[in-house]
Every structure is written in structure tokens, then in C-alpha cells.
Amino acid sequence: MSIVQKLTLSLVALSFFVFGIYGAIHLRAERQDLRIAMEQETQILASSIQVSVENALRDQQIEDVQKLLQQLERIDPAIHIRVYISDSEVLHSDAEIRDWPDSLEQTLLEIARNGETRLLYFPVDKPNLLFLSQPFIDRKNVTLGNLTVVRSLDPMNEDLQATERTILITLASFVLVTSGFCFVLVRLTVARPLERLGQGMRDFRDGNLPPLPLPVAGNDELTRVIREFNRMIAELSEAYRQLEVETQHKRSLQRALQNADKLITIGQLSAGLAHEIGTPLQIINGRARALVESDTTPDDVRRIAQILVAQTDRMTRIVKRLLDFVRHRPLDPAPCDVAMVITEVLDMLTYEARNKDIALKFNQADDLPRVKIDKDGIQQIVLNLVSNALAAGAPGGSIRVDLHQDLMFKAGSTIPSLQLKVSDTGKGITPEHLTQLFEPFFTTRADCGGTGLGLAVVKTIVTEMGGSVAAESNLGLGSCFTVDIPLKAYP
């Protein structure tokens, strides 16, 4: 429900409440005033008629009393008069047509016998008749009977109903006019400014900055809120601009750290690869000297040439892999075979693993799809994790790399993911160091050339891919690093 509807309904409810109470009080006062006026008129009428009735009865002129009653009822049919004489005789006009209940008749007779003055309403709950009974006397102050004036309350009730209708019409008219005026006023002064303010917030949230400042007119509370909103948007826009600049600097720094870590890792591998390149060089050198110093047949020359070609191809592959790892490439998700990328990295590390007598094992699921992912990022993740495992390993140990599909939790739900696990049988990590593993420049191998960038770079790359990385370790038994990356299948 909008604020306009709430305020309008609130005003309608308040108007009904206030004017309802006022109408009820006014109607009650009107009823009381009409009753008092009716009672006074009835008493005056009864006193006037009483004089004539007393005089006629003193002269024993009962017929005159009867005629008087008939004349009065012809003048005002709403008035009916009864004369109760002490000998139980009842005088009334010939036009008497009222069906008096027995209980009421008995009450009036009892009042006449007792010579009482009584004012009654009948029926009690919703009266439509007023009874005034009062005694009349002769010259000797002897009570001769009672005069009862009966007045219909229908005119009074009709007046009350007319007053009630007037109050209801007035209330309805006031509510309609006031509600319409309130609706228009609140719409113009509250709803529209709030709509502009809300639209400005939505635009700012969606990155579409509204024209600043928002229209401001007046000096009420809502205007002050809009003015503060304009000031807040200006400050937030400046803060976002500065944050964007800092984010760009941070990304550049992260890229620089990744490249530095890659170069450091490649440098550490160079010693092992030098041996792999040195061996074919020695073979080439020996075969070349044999060709120079001895007479050989064409078949021997061909065989030695084939050996030279094979060894130079081997060196070319090794150098090409080194260049592929060193070459900088921006983050660019593209369709690729992740298992093939991992295989290339493990081939690169095979020489170091063989020198340290550590077995490298790679297990992959059979149903892995081609995915859209950053190939360079995957290479660097695997290179860093396996290099750390090699550094922590001992001769005779093993390193296992597993790749399969799984589910990961993200934004409160589960989504398909690629899960990469790198497990080793090395010396493990102490519990107090587990919480610091992914902090930049934290290392436990500073004396062995460790820089503390590898795992920090892994964390950065995985986060950029929208994934997560976690580490588990048992001291003396080995460690396991688990990387989950959202799966974006590519046909």
C-alpha cells in the first residue's frame, strides 16, 4: 500500500471517528432537547385543558367535555386526551381508535385512582407515545379524576431521522472532499518527491547516476532529505571514482605479483631444466665430433643426423614450454581442455620431480567437458600448487592431482564446478600456519628461496574466477589443496 493510500485512509478513519462521535453527541442532544420541548408543550396543553374540564365537570356538563375532546383531536390528530373520572368512567373522543395494551390501560387507571401526576413513554425501549397524567379537582379541592394527554412521538422521531440523515450526508461529503484534497496534496508534495528519490536510488544502485542535483523546492523535511541525498550522491560518486582508480592500481599490482611469482618459479625450475637441456647438448656435441673426426658411411651419417634432429627437437620443446610459461597474457576466458592444460604443466615439472625421486600422478574424470576459462590462470594455479608440493616432499614420496566435476556453494545455493585437488605426502603444515597460508609474503621456506607469493597469487586468481580455495594438512603426513571453480561448459 502506497503512502498516499495510507494517509488518505488514515484521514478517512480519523474523520469518521471524530465526526461520528460529534454526530452521536449532537443527535443525543437533539433528542434530549426535543423530548424536553415535547414534555413542556404537553404540560402546558394539559394545564389548559384541565381548567376547561374542571369547569365543565363542576357544572355536571359531561357532554361539553366530550365535545371538547373531539374538537381537540380534530385540530391535532397527534394528540389524544382521556379523562378518568373517580367513578372509573373514562371519557375520550369518538375518534378513539388506539389499541391500548391491557397493561398500559391498567397503569393509567391505577394512576387515576391514586390521583398521581405521571409522565410516561411507551414503549420504554423505542417510545412512540408520550403520556402525561395529572389530577383535576373541584372547588373543595377534592380530586375528581385524572386528565391524561397522549401525544404521538412520530413527528419528533421524523425530525430526529432527518437530523441523522443530515449528519450522515455532511459526514460523507466532508470525508469525500477532504480525502480527495488530501490525496491530491499528498501526491504532489510527498509521493512524487519520494518517487523521484527512489528512482534516483535505483539509478545509482544500477550504476546509472541520476542528474544531480535532484529537483529541490521548499524547505520542509522531505526537501531536506532530498538535499542530503544529493550531497550523499556527490560524495559517493567521488568515492566510487577513487575506488575505481584504486581498484585498477590493485589489479595492476596483483598482475605484477603474479608475473613476478611466475618468473621466480620458472627461475627455480631452470636449474633442473638445465640438466635436461645439457644432456641432449652433450649427445649432439659427441655425435657432431664423431662426424668430423671419422670417415662414416652415408647410412651412419643419416643415423647420426636423425639423433641430432631428435635431440634438438627435445631442447626446442623444453625451451618452448619455458617461454609459454614466462609470456604474459591478460585474463581472457576461452574454451579449453583443462585436463590438457594440467598435463602440460605436469610435463614441465616432471624433470624436477624425477630429480627429487617424487612420483607425479594425474587422475581425471572421463566425462569432463570443455570449459570457458582462463588458460594462463589454470597453468599458474597448478604450477604453484605442485611446485609447493615438490618443495615439501621427500624422496620416495608422491604428489597426486585429481580433476573432476563437483558442486560448490555460492550465494546460498549450489552450482556445478570443476574441482582440482593437489595432494602430497610431504611434511605437512603446522595448524598455526594454516590460517596464514594465503597471505602475501608469508612463507616457511625463506631460507630456501621462498617468496610467499605463490599461494597468495593462487588465491587471487581463483577469486577472480569466482571460485574458492582451501587447504587441509596433517603434520608429518602431507597436505591437500582443494580448488573449486564455477563450471561454465562450452560446447
CATH of the domain at 276: 1.10.287
Question: Between residues 416 and 269, which one has the greater pLDDT?
Answer: 416
Residue 370 has pLDDT above 70, yes or no: yes
The whole-number pLDDT of residue 275 equals: 47
> Of 76-90, 345-359, 443-457, where does the model show the most confidence?
345-359
- Identify whether residues 130 and 38 lie together within a single domain: yes
Helix (H, G, I), strand (E, B) or coil at 329: coil
- Residue 490: which pLDDT band, with cuts at 50, 70 and 90? very low
Indicate if the pLDDT at residue 321 is higher than 80: no
CATH number, domain containing residue 74 = 3.30.450.20
Confidence category of residue 483, pLDDT binned at 50, 70, 90 = very high
- Residue 182 CB partners (closer than 8 Å, separation 6+): 7, 8, 11
Looking at the predicted structure, is the pLDDT value of residue 24 above 80?
yes
Contacts for 205 with CB less than 8 Å, ≥ 6 apart: none
Structural domain including 383 reads 332-491
SS3 76: coil
For the ranges 65-79, 259-273, 401-415, the one whose mean pLDDT is highest: 401-415
Q: What is the mean pLDDT of residues 334-358?
A: 84
Q: In which band, very low, low, confident or very high, does the pLDDT at 481 lie, cut at 50, 70 and 90?
A: very high
Look at residue 28 and tell me if it is in a domain.
yes
Q: Are residues 413 and 316 in the same domain?
A: no
Indicate if 460 and 356 belong to the same structural domain. yes
Per DSSP, the residues of 24-45 read HHHHHHHHHHHHHHHHHHHHHH
Judged by average pLDDT, the poorest of 119-128, 279-288, 394-403 is: 279-288
Domain count of the chain?
3
Interatomic CA distance for residues 401 and 394, integer angstroms:
17
Q: Are strands 359-364 and 334-336 parallel, antiparallel or unpaired?
A: unpaired
* Mean predicted confidence (pLDDT) in 89-108: 67
pLDDT at 257: 65
pLDDT of residue 414: 82
Neighbouring C-alpha atoms within 13 Å toward the C-beta of 266: 18
457 and 369 inside one domain: yes
Alpha helices in 59-101 (DSSP H): 62-75
Q: How far apart are CA 430 and CA 491, in angstroms?
A: 44
- Residue 343 belongs to domain with CATH number: 3.30.565.10
Do 363 and 454 sit in the same domain of this protein?
A: yes
**DSSP conformation class of 189:** I
Q: What mean pLDDT is predicted for residues 447-464?
A: 72
| Confidence at residue 97, expressed as pLDDT on a 0 to 100 scale | 46
Tell me the pLDDT tens digit for each residue of 193-216. 777 777 777 777 776 665 566 766
**Residues 116-170: tens digit of each pLDDT:** 888 888 887 888 888 888 888 766 777 777 888 888 888 888 888 888 888 888 8
pLDDT band at 420 (very low <50, low <70, confident <90, very high): very high
404 and 278 inside one domain: no
Q: What is the DSSP letter of 465?
A: T
What is the pLDDT averaged over residues 35-44?
A: 86
Pairwise CA distance, residues 198 & 191, whole Å: 10
Whether residue 188 is predicted with pLDDT greater than 60 in this model: the reply is yes
Whole-number average pLDDT of the chain: 76
Q: Is 349 in the same domain as 480? A: yes
Mean pLDDT of 94-107: 66
Buried b vs exposed e over 454-480: b needs ≥16 C-beta within 10 Å?
Answer: bbbbbbbbbeebebbbebebeeeebbb
| Distance, CA of 95 to CA of 247 (rounded, Å) | 107
Residue 197 resides in a domain: no
pLDDT of residue 104: 77
Q: How many CB atoms lie within 10 A of CB 316?
A: 10
470 vs 247 pLDDT, higher one: 470
pLDDT band at residue 365, thresholds of 50, 70 and 90? confident
Residue 141 · residue 16 · CB < 8 Å: no
In a domain, 214, yes or no: no
- 49 and 137 inside one domain: yes
| Cis check: omega of the bond before 213, within 30 degrees of 0 | yes
- Of 380, 166, 352, residue with least CA distance to 269: 352
pLDDT interval class at 222 (50, 70, 90)? confident
Looking at the structure, tell me whether residues 270 and 324 fall in a common domain: yes
Q: What is the pLDDT of residue 102?
A: 74
Is the residue at 316 inside a domain? Answer: yes
- The pLDDT value recorded for residue 332 is 65
> Hey, what's the cell of 308?
641430432
CB atoms within 10 A of CB 488: 16
Residue 93: closest CA among 130, 135, 49: 49
Cα 276 from Cα 321, distance rounded (Å): 13
pLDDT at 476 exceeding the cut of 70: yes
State the pLDDT confidence band at 400, using cuts at 50, 70 and 90: very high
